[in-house]
Amino acid sequence: MNTKKIWLISLVLGLMVAGVVYVSFLAKDKTSTSASATVSQEAQDKKEQKSTEELEKEKQSEKDKALEREFANPIIDVTNGKRAISLRVNLEEGVSGYIAPNSKVDVIAYETTKDEKKDKEYKSAVLVLENVKVLTSGKSSDNKEASLLYETVTLEVTPEEGVVLSLASKDKDGFYLMLRNSEDTKIGKAGIKQTREVIKEGDSDKK
């Protein structure tokens, strides 16, 4: 075999090897590109999914805020173990508008009874609770000005005291509140009762 044939064969073989290497490199590059594209697409999908979830959370948060009640006239937090109860009073019985959150008051319930046999009417007042904390005055929807013209006062009581007041609200004619000094914590007067005859017009003339 002469030198020219050897060189020719070598050239062909070299071209074949180069072709195989080139094809292998292209295939590897395509695989790498395909894998990279797949990873990139997955990352994009996750990002879009996360954005969608965040958007849903934001929408839900907005809905929750819309459902929350906004109190124009807030109430003090009720102490653990205590309860809140509202009593209907007017400004006179609410110490002329001086009742405010964190005030301490004594509660007087009053009632009217009749003696049919003697045709007489009696008015009674009894001290039912002492040193009770006021949580707020007025209604939750009242603005600052309206809350000063309150018709209700919300008190913090024990469950037992709440039962007493709820029963008194049905059996009695109404309530008076006595404002206490914030440093005066003495109790022991509950149960004090005063009763007097109601003098009607014309009764004095009969006498």
| Cβ neighbours for 75, distance < 8 A, ≥ 6 positions apart | 84, 101, 135, 136, 140, 154
Q: Half-sphere exposure (CA, 13 Å, Cβ side) for 173?
A: 10
List the chain domain ranges. 1-68, 83-201
The reported pTM is 0.58
- Lowest mean pLDDT, pick from 89-93, 137-141, 156-160: 89-93
pLDDT digits (tens, 9 = 90+) for 111-152: 888 877 777 888 888 899 999 999 998 888 877 777 778 888
Dihedral angle at the C-alpha atoms of 93, 98, 104, 107, nearest 10 degrees? 0
Structure tokens at 58: 């934001």
Residue with tokens 């007087």: 108
pLDDT at 101 over 60: yes
- Return d(Cα 202, Cα 199) in angstroms, integer: 9
* β-pair type (83-88, 193-197): unpaired
pLDDT at site 92: 72
pLDDT at site 131: 95
